[in-house]
Structure 1
């Protein structure tokens, strides 16, 4: 039995997805989409970045007939990357949180830029930009590879871990503050 066949089905499906985390499938990323396919809640024809090739891979894995991409979820396009018009960028940082792979560098009130080699072309940074300084251009890469998908998955998982840690730390700080306030209020009522 191959290593792929030993992995849980959701892992096998996720391994076939492009890991752009674009949400065009209707789910919050590639892993949730893989789980939805595994649970029979989503069809194999919902991933525009994966296109016909991705649908065929999923069909082969699941032993179901391939079908064309459902146009309700978009169309397959050549690879693109985000580019920021740095002269127009106001440094608002609204493009940073939606980037699934932290491919955008910048700080508040500073110019931002995209690291093209890390950009998945998801387009999630475009809508939040208040000055419309982000556009999509053809990627220098002619093909999204398994190595690109693996890198994207790792960066996305690292971002999620970092965000979860930050949320846990924030929650812990708030709890400590509440406990301190409760002690202070208790001390005031005792006087």
Structure 2
């Protein structure tokens, strides 16, 4: 018994040292722009952009093969921050146009509990573990963890999952944008 433990320990130590050496020897440095883009992305690895995770999207953006508007769960704010890092928006001329991206409120999944059969398909597909429930039991969504990536909506066999506007709470409440004053617009036209 002691010999088996010693042999397994020696084998584990030897393989660990070999892996450590290989990691240092064959390490490839990523460009700093990839790390900067990856830091801005939500980091949920939902796959809504069509790339294998946020790091894959960051590499594609650094190469120029993916637009800054690819991260749909991030929305317009993430796209603007990404455009600054990638330097696609310049002050006067060409660059990326974010006019097509509407300013929308964050969306989250919502499960109609009377249609849920408890099949756990949505539970298994959620990249952020925002869906709770068990087999043959009703599931529900934790709205603070949901990114609105549509992964659960695609696999639901009963179509019990829809996207809704994220309900406002005290933690994420914000003021609505004010409407422009009509008097200010008239004075600008007069000037």
The interval holding the TM-score normalised by the smaller chain is 0.5 to 0.7
Distance 1:19-1:62 versus aligned 2 partners, 3 A rule: same
Distance 1:118-1:50 versus aligned 2 partners, 3 A rule: closer
Matching residue of 2:186: none
Matching residue of 2:35: 11
Q: Is the 8 A contact 1:45 1:70 kept in 2?
A: no
Q: Which runs of 5+ in 2 are unaligned?
A: 1-30, 90-94, 173-191
State TM-score, norm by structure 2.
Answer: 0.60
Distance 1:69-1:24 versus aligned 2 partners, 3 A rule: farther
Shift of 1:19: 3.8
User: Which 4+ runs in 1 deviate beyond 4 A?
Assistant: none
Q: Is the 8 A contact 2:33 2:85 kept in 1?
A: no
Q: Is the 8 A contact 1:46 1:69 kept in 2?
A: no
Q: Is the 8 A contact 2:72 2:149 kept in 1?
A: no
- Cα distance in 2 for partners of 1:125, 1:61 equals 31
More moved, 123-132 vs 44-53: 44-53
- Cα distance in 2 for partners of 1:86, 1:70 equals 37
Q: In the alignment, is residue 57 of structure 1 matched against residue 58 of structure 2? A: no
Could you say which structure has the greater relative contact order, defined with CA pairs below 8 angstroms and 6 or more residues apart?
Answer: 1
Matching residue of 1:107: 134
SS of equivalent residue, structure 2 residue 163 = strand
Matching residue of 2:114: 87
State TM-score, norm by structure 1.
Answer: 0.60
Q: Once the two structures are superposed, what CA deviation does each residue of 1:32-71 show, in whole Å capped at 9, x if it has no partner? A: 1112112333232323343443333222222332522496
Q: CA RMSD in A?
A: 2.8
Matching residue of 1:183: none
Give the one of 143, 148, 154 matched to 1:121: 148
Aligned length: 136
- Cα distance in 2 for partners of 1:14, 1:50 equals 12
